[in-house]
Amino acid sequence: TWRKLAATEFKGKEEFQREVVRHVETTLARSMYNCDELGAYSGAALALRDRLVIAWNKTQQQHTFVDSKRVYYLSLEFLMGRTLDNAMLNVGVKQTARDGLDELGFRIEDVIDQEHDAALGNGGLGRLAACFLDSLATLNYPGWGYGLRYRYGIFKQEIIDGHQVEVPDYWLDFNPWEFPRHDIVVDIMFYGYVRKQIEEDGTTRSIWEGGEVVQAVAYDYPIPGFDTENTNNLRLWSSRPASGEFDFQKFNAGDYESAVREQQRAETISAVLYPNDNIDAGKELRLKQQYFWVSASLHDIIRRFKKTHRPWDQFPERVAIQLNDTHPALAIVELQRILIDIEHLSYDKAWGIVTRTFGYTNHTVLPEALEKWSVPLMQHLLPRHMQIIYDINLFFLQGVEKKFPGDRELLMKVSIIEESQPQSIRMAFLAIIGSHKVNGVAELHSDLIRTTIFKDFVTVFGTDKFINITNGVTPRRWLHQANPKLSDLISEKLGGDSFLKDLTLLDGLLEHLDDKQFRKDWMDIKYANKVRLAKYIKETTQIAVNPASLFDIQVKRIHEYKRQQMNIFGIIHRYLTLKAMKPEQRKKAVPRVSIFGGKAAPGYWMAKTIIRLITAVGDVVNCDKDIGDLLKVIFIEDYNVSKAEMIIPASDISEHISTAGTEASGTSNMKFVLNGGLIIGTVDGANVEIVEQIGDEQAFTFGHLAHSVPELRHQHHFAKPKPVLDKCLKAVFDAILKGTFGTPELFEPLINSITEGGDYYLVSDDFQSYIDAQSLVDELYVDKDSWAERSITAVAKMGFFSSDRTIVEYAEQIWNIEPVPVPRQK
Ligand code: 26W
């Protein structure tokens, strides 16, 4: 049957090939005769990109034509990973491309492997933003991302002599996915002073002037949806000197150095992503990044709104802005400034528009991660914004005083300004006051923010302003792309791939639970994914691991609250136990491969010590002849999105073992279960809801609950004499201190943080119950058939955790936006 091709389709593999060849020979000016895999990648990417652009333009024109309300997702991080594979799958041309490349002599997997990850994020928050973009496009919502185009993304991690070494990640060499918009340029000012001016009508106006100006240039990235022509936009800003090049006067006068210095100063703003996850460093350059990005984005949004010639009142009916954590909280102040200083609206009218526009998502309760900026720094860098923050605070506190007369203590507690030395600005408080909705990212986390860090704001604003929207992940990347075999098997059983757009359809798998062949196919795919990972481990570490072993994986940023130290202590316990066994006893043990991956912030010394201990244990265990295949300890270098796509489908068990109440949600927990791995985890973050959905036979939970944590910490703090350590944990520490894993001095501080330092993350309190949970894992893994049943059951019940569900909740409860599909050609 004949139908018109979608904008993103090819007429067949021949047309695809022609396009690849054309790009290799003309755009890249290379010959097909000596075209390598990188050349083939570049050609394929450019061929596909031509199609995306058509759909992208159509979408943007449609959205402008309909004048629909848009959401703007402001995030300092977008951890996109690779684009080619995802884009081919989303627009449905992967098979065509595979066939075409095949005939040209290339394996598509090798071609895909040429692409550099876009690693513009640290961890959970950045990857969530990327999943949200995929869901927004797939659901046909008009939604843009706004971020920074860092020249260097998160550093590359090398492990040298067991230590983490950071190497810069320059990712822009050849990037077919970005479109520079040299016509979209915004001037951004820093420093300067504020002058008051009396108008003819007697009102006073504030004029901010005399500062340093840099330019923001837009770079756009198309975001294709799955099985739709809708293609959204991600706009990232790059900084450059205002004069375009550099100061030619200085240059001509021979002052080359200062001319170049000035250029570098401007370019520095978007040069590098801060590699801190969950720790606020408070650096001036970071504040400059935040204002630069927020100001450029707002000017762009306002310029687009103004083209519709609507009155300002209607701004919140056309624009929703979501603040991804407090990093963009200055947008609240910037919009207020534009509305009063430039657009001359009254303060109250402006503030009404501001609060109806913004929503704020909180992603952490860790006190060290809550952003605070020093008042003198803000005063110096953004003098007018500082005044406006004082005004916002004054009017807010006046309102509180009116509602709760005489409650001085409450005023102190909710003031944006903290009376520290020097004073500081609590950005989360500013974000709450300037938004109409505040949300946490999992039920437990949202409860915690309502009852702990933001409880005084619940008193002031009431409960309705504080909602929960549980995180989700995109099944397109995290099932269909990462695990094509499993995705195909599921399609076969469900009679189609609609589950990729409505993940709740997965529950149809339950009908096939008793099908022996299905269970076997299911476990064969898991095995094949483990073989794929084992091969990678062999190639990169020279260590052979047996894919028949139980694969136990913990991959995430290294942080004391995530407790990789507890995992490695558990592994040492296992090692000591195995060593103490007689050889015939050992034969009954379940062989295990413990796999770690993750980066430590460069300045986070304790996290680096944890990495050092993991590699040290691996060095000893992996060549112990008594142990052989019974235990291997692997650290995978440079964990990133593309590696996650290979690692996650290969887990039997993954670890989500944060101290209860510290992990806001976690999202890799969802990815692992969606790929048929079970989880061992604490009652924390989204683990709680995952277990609720899949049933507690399908998960291994352990440890103290969040509500007991404060009391346990208190006991550690005041305990005299020090409590005696659990026997197993003591044996582990003794082995380390005896030098079993090399120089014990390296690891003393880590042990001391537990034995002497108050054990803030409660490793000693949870250790025994962790070991018990691991024993249960061993026990149940032996029965492969019931394991298969658990794995299938878990996947079948994961429908809730699609980021599509998450995005619909944001759209309905916060943004008030509707889908605007691009009409399909008939
Ligand atoms: C100012 C320094 C800084 C940098 C990044 C503070 C805080 C952050 C992020 C908010 C940390 C982060 O990524 N949080 C994670 O967000 C995920 C998405 O909601 C959650 O799944 C994780 O539990 C949470 O740790």
363 CA to middle of ligand 1, Å?
Answer: 5
446 CA to middle of ligand 1, Å?
Answer: 14
Of 551, 495, 512, the closest CA to residue 528 belongs to: 551
797 token code pair: 């019940």
pLDDT digits (tens, 9 = 90+) for 313-332: 999 999 999 999 999 999 99
* pLDDT value at 244 more than 70: no
Check 288, 556, 632, 716 and give the catalytic one: 556
* pLDDT value at 4 more than 80: no
Residue 778 host element (H or E):
helix 763-781
125 CA to middle of ligand 1, Å?
Answer: 5
Q: What is the dihedral angle through the alpha carbons of 115, 121, 123, 129, rounded to the nearest 10 degrees?
A: -90
| Peptide bond before residue 721 is cis, with ω within 30 degrees of 0 | yes
What is the separation of C-alpha 771 from the centre of its chain, rounded to a whole number of angstroms? 30
Confidence of residue 173 (pLDDT cuts 50, 70, 90): confident
ipTM over 0.95: yes
d(CA 115, CA 175): 9
- The reported pLDDT for the residue numbered 1 is 41
303 token code pair: 């310029």
Ligand 1, atom 17, residue with closest C-alpha = 124
Determine contact, residues 638/157, Cβ cutoff 8 Å.
yes
- The reported pLDDT for the residue numbered 444 is 98
Determine contact, residues 557/599, Cβ cutoff 8 Å.
yes
368 CA to middle of ligand 1, Å?
Answer: 12
Q: Considering the entire predicted model, what is its pTM?
A: 0.98
**Poorest-confidence range of 201-205, 292-296, 479-483?**
201-205
799 CA to middle of ligand 1, Å?
Answer: 24
- The reported pLDDT for the residue numbered 819 is 98
130 CA to middle of ligand 1, Å?
Answer: 14
**Poorest-confidence range of 78-92, 239-253, 401-415, 471-485?**
239-253
128 CA to middle of ligand 1, Å?
Answer: 10
Helices and strands per DSSP (H, E), number in the chain: 33, 24
Mutating to test ligand 1, I would choose from 278, 324, 682 the residue with most ligand atoms within 8 A of its C-beta, which is: 278
**At which residue do the structure tokens 């099932």 appear?**
479
d(CA 305, CA 315): 7
Check 562, 563, 573, 716 and give the catalytic one: 562
Active site residue 557: yes
Mutating to test ligand 1, I would choose from 122, 276, 364, 557 the residue with most ligand atoms within 8 A of its C-beta, which is: 364
Q: In this structure, which amino acid lies at residue 576?
A: L
User: What phi and psi, each to the nearest 5 degrees, are found at residue 594?
Assistant: -95, 120
Around ligand 1, the residues with Cβ closer than 6 Å are 122-125, 128, 276-280, 325, 363-364, 369, 371, 441, 471, 663-667, 685
d(CA 689, CA 681): 12
Ligand 1, atom nearest to 666 Cα: 21
Ligand 1, atom nearest to 77 Cα: 5
Check 574, 671, 790, 797 and give the catalytic one: 671
Confidence of residue 425 (pLDDT cuts 50, 70, 90): very high
234 CA to middle of ligand 1, Å?
Answer: 21
553 CA to middle of ligand 1, Å?
Answer: 21
Q: CB count, 10 Å around CB of 199?
A: 9
pLDDT digits (tens, 9 = 90+) for 96-108: 999 999 999 999 9
Q: Which residue has the higher pLDDT, 201 or 346?
A: 346
**At which residue do the structure tokens 């006893």 appear?**
585
Mutating to test ligand 1, I would choose from 363, 478, 563 the residue with most ligand atoms within 8 A of its C-beta, which is: 363
d(CA 790, CA 787): 5
Q: What is the mean pLDDT of residues 714-739?
A: 91
List the beta bridge partners of residue 212: 190
* pLDDT value at 208 more than 60: yes
Q: What is the mean pLDDT of residues 577-589?
A: 97
Q: What is the mean pLDDT of residues 493-516?
A: 98
d(CA 526, CA 306): 54
d(CA 678, CA 720): 40
Of 561, 642, 615, 564, the closest CA to residue 165 belongs to: 615
Exposed, middle or buried, 167 (CB in 10 Å: 0-12/13-18/19+)? exposed
Q: What is the mean pLDDT of residues 700-716?
A: 97
* pLDDT value at 268 more than 70: yes
Determine contact, residues 623/544, Cβ cutoff 8 Å.
no
d(CA 149, CA 169): 13
- The reported pLDDT for the residue numbered 826 is 57
Q: What percent of the chain has pLDDT over 90?
A: 94
Question: Mean of the per-residue pLDDT values for the chain?
Answer: 96
Ligand 1, atom 11, residue with closest C-alpha = 278
* pLDDT value at 424 more than 50: yes
The CATH superfamily assigned to 546-809 is: Glycogen Phosphorylase B; (3.40.50.2000)
Ligand 1, atom 3, residue with closest C-alpha = 278
* pLDDT value at 11 more than 50: yes
- Residue 441 DSSP label: S
Check 149, 327, 363, 512 and give the catalytic one: 363
Q: CB count, 10 Å around CB of 571?
A: 24
Of 223, 179, 187, 291, the closest CA to residue 52 belongs to: 223
d(CA 658, CA 600): 16
- The reported pLDDT for the residue numbered 243 is 74
124 CA to middle of ligand 1, Å?
Answer: 6
pLDDT digits (tens, 9 = 90+) for 107-135: 999 999 999 999 999 999 999 999 999 99
- The reported pLDDT for the residue numbered 257 is 84
Check 96, 474, 667, 682 and give the catalytic one: 667
Q: What is the mean pLDDT of residues 234-250?
A: 81
Kindly list the domain boundaries of the chain, sorted by start residue: 546-809
Q: CB count, 10 Å around CB of 408?
A: 9
Q: What is the mean pLDDT of residues 705-713?
A: 98
Ligand 1, atom nearest to 361 Cα: 19
Q: In this structure, which amino acid lies at residue 511?
A: E
Q: What is the mean pLDDT of residues 212-226?
A: 98
- The reported pLDDT for the residue numbered 8 is 78
d(CA 312, CA 342): 13
Ligand 1, atom nearest to 685 Cα: 23
* pLDDT value at 276 more than 80: yes
- The reported pLDDT for the residue numbered 263 is 86
Check 70, 384, 557, 573 and give the catalytic one: 557
d(CA 144, CA 232): 6
Ligand 1, atom nearest to 664 Cα: 23
479 CA to middle of ligand 1, Å?
Answer: 23
List the beta bridge partners of residue 86: none
pLDDT digits (tens, 9 = 90+) for 345-387: 999 999 999 999 999 999 999 999 999 999 999 999 999 999 9
Ligand 1, atom 6, residue with closest C-alpha = 278
**At which residue do the structure tokens 């990347």 appear?**
477
Question: What's the order of all strands across the beta sheet hosting 231-241?
Answer: 179-190, 212-224, 231-241, 143-148, 70-74, 319-324, 358-361, 437-440, 466-468
Ligand 1, atom 12, residue with closest C-alpha = 125
List the beta bridge partners of residue 701: 681
Determine contact, residues 391/354, Cβ cutoff 8 Å.
no
- The reported pLDDT for the residue numbered 3 is 54
Active site residue 530: no
Q: What is the mean pLDDT of residues 515-525?
A: 98
Exposed, middle or buried, 826 (CB in 10 Å: 0-12/13-18/19+)? exposed
Q: In this structure, which amino acid lies at residue 415?
A: S
d(CA 757, CA 716): 9
List the beta bridge partners of residue 272: 152
